Amino acid sequence: MIPRGLIVAVQFLTRLPTPRVTDPTPRDLSDCVDFFPLVGAMIGAAVALAVWALRPVDPWIGALAGVITWVWITGGLHLDGLGDVADAFGASHRVRERFLEVLSDPHAGNFAVMAITLQIASKLVLLALMPGTASPWAVILIAAWARFGALVWSNTVPSLKSGLGEQFASDIRWSMIGAWTIVLIGASVWVAVPLLVALAIVPLGSLFWRRRLGGINGDCLGASVEVTESLLLLALILGKL
């Protein structure tokens, strides 16, 4: 039987079909976070399949297929958060209250458009530049590490306001964080050592949000996932040079 928390995590993070869980409870939302890295691996597997299926035709075609798959399978969830955060940072002028005000505006401004465009372009270029010796498992781990980050950030940074971010943060277990840390470190040592830079990127994400805003919400988590994925792709490329 598929755990209810896993179903909720897949429903929230992807567009993949699942048995329907209607009206998830706060407990469901907190439990589903434990499965974020696993769902990340599922996302990464879909991206890797698209990239390596068309990479023999041309690296850029493979990269384009990977980016399209990345956006489709997530429904642009994290890109939306990145755009909202970019708008808020661009218009808030370091005023926390103004940041929250802009963050709640559903409209996309110029900063959002620029940030999303640059992020998609970055992933396209980075996927195309991946060395031929890179393993598809590396892309799977990149997506898993980024969503592991969401688990850590939710547990180490206070919520900015009530909402999904606060619900996800409730009852996150350090034992689960520790278990995923061991799994991802072991897999990275086996597949791609440069991805261990995630051990620095994830804590730095927590430090950034604590110092910059004193808290975090769902949009901030989404933006952090996107940035982490790009940084890990870059680390993979630099590590193979």
C-alpha–C-alpha distance, residues 98 and 120, integer Å: 27
Domain assignment of residue 224, yes or no: yes
Domain assignment of residue 28, yes or no: no
Q: How many domains does the chain contain in total?
A: 1
Domain assignment of residue 71, yes or no: yes
Asked whether 10 and 31 are in contact (CB, 8 A), the reply is no
Q: What's the whole-number average pLDDT of the chain?
A: 89
pLDDT at 162: 61
pLDDT at 57: 96
Angle at 115 between CA 109 and CA 120, to 5 degrees: 130
What are the residue ranges in the chain where pLDDT is below 50? Answer: none
pLDDT at 163: 55
Domain assignment of residue 15, yes or no: no
Range of the domain at 153: 36-240
Query: Which of 186, 184, 147, 137 lies closest to 168 in space, CA to CA?
Result: 147
pLDDT at 26: 64
Domain assignment of residue 232, yes or no: yes
The predicted-structure confidence for 25-35, as pLDDT tens digits, reads as follows: 667 677 788 89
CA of residue 10 relative to chain centroid, distance? 13
Residue ranges of alpha helices (H) inside 55-197 are 59-74, 77-92, 96-103, 110-129, 136-156, 164-169, 174-191
